[in-house]
Amino acid sequence: MFERVRPRNLEDFEEPRMVPLGGHLFGACFFLMKLLPARFMLKRAVERGQLAPGGTICESSSGTFALALAMLSVLNGYRLLIVGDWALDRNLRRRLLQLGAELDIVEEPHPIGGFQLARLERLQEHLRRRPGSYWPAQYYNEDNPISYSKVAACFIDAVGPIDCLVGTVGSGGSMCGTARYLRMLFPDLTVIGVDTHNSVLFGQPNAPRKVSGLGGGIVPANVDHTQFDEIHWLPASEIMASAHDLHGRHGLFMGPTSGAAFRVARWWSDSNPGKTVVAIFPDEGHRYADTVYDEAWLESSIPGWNGTRMEEPTAVSSPTVDMTSWAKYPWRRRNLSDVLGDLPPRI
């Protein structure tokens, strides 16, 4: 007789594959990393009575958090409204609609906070019209970084003591949550955040960006700047080329944020032989087949993506300086205001 196969659920896909990348560098490869915080936030909302059976979830997202919510909503019988923008590409839109999500696409950015703030303002309108709806609020919901204690435990089980953690920063959940838990055991852990030009997260002036899922036009409350020892900013060309490196050299078909983390982690690992480094690779590359992995699109959208590469970052004197290439700054676990002075409140 055949043994009955145990039914799988999305929780089975939350743990990363730990892939050796040479030396003491490891890539934490996720199928869809945002499944972990999304499931945890919805679970906690149910426990608190904030989300009723068959209830409506409303969220602002143009990336993988929207997809995670849509997948979980199908499994749990929730209705879902997503407020997105241009970064919500056609393949992701198609998947969200097939999963039954309602989409509201914001066409114009906010004059100060860009598309992120414009989406949040539109979201508030929907919440007012739909009393009783649940807003996960990934930018400041403390359950977001708390959920990553599970990821920290996976890293330790797989590789043991860790000297350096590298990853991109968006909502702040993955890097800040994972770093916070790892430092309970490894207080000397070096944490490197990877951002992109024109992102306000670490002090750059807000301007249009070409890479989705990385950086932002607002500073979410979940970005704990005191967790970071060093910040790197990468241009879109370097990020795309690095995603191709990760695929061509290691067979890992991952998204652009993974390419960005890989570029910085590879450099730090080479510069610090013998140190164990873990780079976070948040999602696979399938939704980027028509963009990041399409050379015609790259040639038209990311000039110079396959040109001369920098061997190492340029050290900058301030996060606010004009940047056109790979740059780094010693953050030294300081608050944003300690580095930049008086700032407007966070979102």
Per-residue pLDDT tens for 199-209?
999 999 988 88
Counted residue by residue, the chain has a size of: 347
Round the average pLDDT of the chain to a whole number and report it: 92
Assigned domain for 340 exists: no
* CATH at residue 112: 3.40.50.1100
Q: Is there a single domain that holds both residue 165 and residue 85? A: no
| Residue range of the domain that includes 77 | 52-129
Q: Is there a single domain that holds both residue 189 and residue 323? A: yes
Given phi > 0 = left and psi -120 to 50 = alpha, else beta, which region is 92? alpha
Assigned domain for 40 exists: no
Q: Token pair 């196969």 is at which residue? A: 5
pTM over 0.95: no
Q: What are phi and psi of 230, to 5 degrees?
A: -150, 145
Q: Is there a single domain that holds both residue 92 and residue 15? A: no
Of 129, 156, 182, which closes a domain? 129
Of 129, 157, 178, which closes a domain? 129
Q: Is there a single domain that holds both residue 328 and residue 210? A: yes
Q: What are phi and psi of 174, to 5 degrees?
A: -65, -50
pLDDT digits over 148-182, tens only? 999 999 999 999 999 999 999 999 999 999 999 99
Q: Burial, 250: exposed, middle or buried (Cβ in 10 Å; 0-12, 13-18, 19+)? A: middle
Assigned domain for 90 exists: yes
Number of domains in the chain: 2
Of 67, 99, 129, which closes a domain? 129
pLDDT digits over 11-55, tens only? 767 899 999 999 999 999 999 999 999 999 999 999 999 999 999
